[in-house]
């Protein structure tokens, strides 16, 4: 069974641009979450989608947005990039919507804003 796939693996963008990151969950998983990992702030929750509906949103500005498609694939978008948005963005998928199932993470997208 294929794992969580994130594309692209690496991105370099200029301040002010926008970026879209993609995540394909494990087959059959309907819950997708996004996390930002930085050396200073650690791992922070961005948002979670289940069956195309956003269920939770972390404490990030409105420049960060996401969506989920009917095939459970998810995208996140960051507009008007800032230097501080440089981070590893991790996507995780889960089989169910209750809290007992563990999340499986992709390898992440390393975003560098210059």
Residue numbers at the binding site for another protein (CB under 8 A): 4, 6, 31, 33, 35, 42-43, 45, 48, 50, 55-56, 58, 90, 92, 94, 97, 99-100, 102-108
Q: Residue 104 CB, nearest distance to another protein (Å)?
A: 7
By beta-carbon proximity to another protein, the closer residue of 11 and 79 is: 11
Query: Closer CB to another protein, residue 13 or residue 57?
Result: 57
Q: What is the DSSP letter of 85?
A: G
Instruction: Give the separation between CA 26 and CA 100, rounded to whole angstroms.
Output: 17
Q: How far apart are CA 14 and CA 20, in angstroms?
A: 14
Using the minimum distance from each CB to another protein, give the nearer residue, 6 or 24. 6
What is the CA 83 to chain-centroid distance, rounded?
18
Q: Please give the Cα distance from 3 to 24 (Å, whole number).
A: 9
By C-beta, is 66 or 106 nearer to another protein?
Answer: 106
State how far the Cα of 86 lies from the Cα of 67, in Å rounded to an integer: 21
């Amino acid at each position: 069974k294929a794992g969580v796939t994130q594309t692209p693996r690496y991105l370099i963008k200029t301040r002010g641009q926008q970026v879209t990151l993609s995540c394909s969950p494990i087959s059959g998983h309907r819950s997708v979450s996004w996390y930002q990992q930085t050396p200073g702030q650690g791992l922070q929750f961005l948002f979670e989608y289940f069956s195309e509906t956003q269920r939770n949103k972390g404490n990030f500005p409105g420049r960060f947005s996401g969506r989920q498609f009917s095939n459970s694939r998810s995208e996140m978008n960051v507009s008007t990039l800032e230097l501080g948005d440089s981070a590893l963005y991790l996507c995780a998928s889960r089989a169910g919507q209750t809290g007992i199932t563990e999340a499986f993470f992709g390898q992440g997208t390393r975003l560098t804003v210059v």
